[in-house]
Amino acid sequence: MSVEIKPVFVCGNSRSGTTVLAKSLSMLDGTFMFDELHYYDELASKKKRYDKRSIMDCLYSRYKSGYFGSRTQPVTCPWVGLNGGENPLKVMFDQVSAELNCPILIEQTPANVRFIPEILATFPDARIIVLVRDYRDVLLSQKSKWKRKFRGGAKTPWLETIRAFVNYNPILIALIWKKNYQKIPSSESVLCLRYEDLITDPKKQLSLVCTFLNEPFDPVILDVAFVGSSLSNDSSSRGFSSTNTGNWKKSLPYLDCVIADTLCGNIAADFGYDRQNHSFFSCLVAFVSRALGVLLRLPFLVFLNRHRLRAQLRYLR
């Protein structure tokens, strides 16, 4: 018997709490959460170079082995009859839902925030939750992201750790944050949620999310594992940490705050974040110093991250 699929996409800027929200929702009955599939931002763009079977193999590997694991443990997709014109992600959802007898499928690739119209074109009944986090805390989390390997993310490949260390660029991160939230479609299928509201009053916010998904609220989803932070070690504690916000005030370098406020301030105000005003001289020093820092690291950026960097620059055009 076929299962009526209820696709749920949790997205937003990277380091904005998409994983913890998706893990919380995956504790509801009848749900399955994929590791990040990166279909729209990575695989869909390769259609001209890869046939559908290759894309399905990649999706299936990420389903079975996880995003990083799929690189070292690729798995050939066993599903047959995939030569039609169906969207590969739609095929994936249909097959996994039937295989697991699971109607609610949660996909939590942050970059999907850029592809909401495409998602709704493929999945008209999808529910999309967009998480927004203070842009300065996002910068701080990105700056410390390379430490995840030593704070509980032991399976993170060394190459990814080195890439995260080299990649930190407050100008580019702030520009992407701004672009991600400039044009969130107004739709009954899209719910915007502030990360700060989620962690300070999780019961209220998760109740709203469950109503949005047309699912009954179950208190069990409040007991999510406390893992994945860039600023602290994974622990056995469970639940949402109400102190995991505002850390930028004591830990983010002042010049990075200047850049973030200058680039993101106007958009951030729409979400209730207060920007700080800075002098022209402070802005000049901040942008020149950080731009010079990027130039010094440019060879490493290009060598380690050329495909992702090219995609980011294309997105900002």
Q: Looking at the predicted structure, is the pLDDT value of residue 65 above 60?
A: yes
In contact, 198 and 131? CB cutoff 8 Å: yes
Residues contacting 264, CB < 8 A, separation 6+: 135, 174, 177, 178, 275
Average pLDDT over residues 66-79: 86
Report the distance separating Cα 44 and Cα 102, nearest Å.
25
Q: What is the pLDDT of residues 196-250, one digit of tens each?
A: 999 999 999 999 999 999 999 999 999 998 777 777 777 777 888 878 889 999 9
With a pLDDT cut of 70, the percent of the chain lying above it is: 96
pLDDT at 8 over 90: yes
Q: Percentage of the chain with pLDDT > 90?
A: 59
- Res 286: pLDDT: 94
Whether residue 1 is predicted with pLDDT greater than 50 in this model: the reply is: no
- The dotted CATH code for 6-30+103-316 is 3.40.50.300
**In contact, 17 and 133? CB cutoff 8 Å:** yes
Residue 120 host element (H or E): helix 116-122
Task: Assign 3-class secondary structure to 32-66.
Answer: EECCCCCHHHHHHHHCCCCCHHHHHHHHHHHHHHC
* pLDDT at residue 82 is higher than 80: no
Can you tell me the mean pLDDT for 170-175?
94
The candidate with the shortest Cα–Cα distance to 26, out of 230, 231, 213, 233, is 213
Q: What is the pLDDT of residues 292-307, one digit of tens each?
A: 988 888 887 777 777 7
- Residue 275 has what DSSP assignment? P
pLDDT digits (tens, 9 = 90+) for 13-54: 999 999 999 999 999 999 999 989 999 998 887 655 567 788
CA atoms of 255 and 251, how far apart (whole Å):
12
Q: Which residues pair with 8 in a beta bridge?
A: 106, 127
For the chain, what are the domain ranges? 6-30+103-316
Q: What is the pLDDT of residue 117?
A: 95
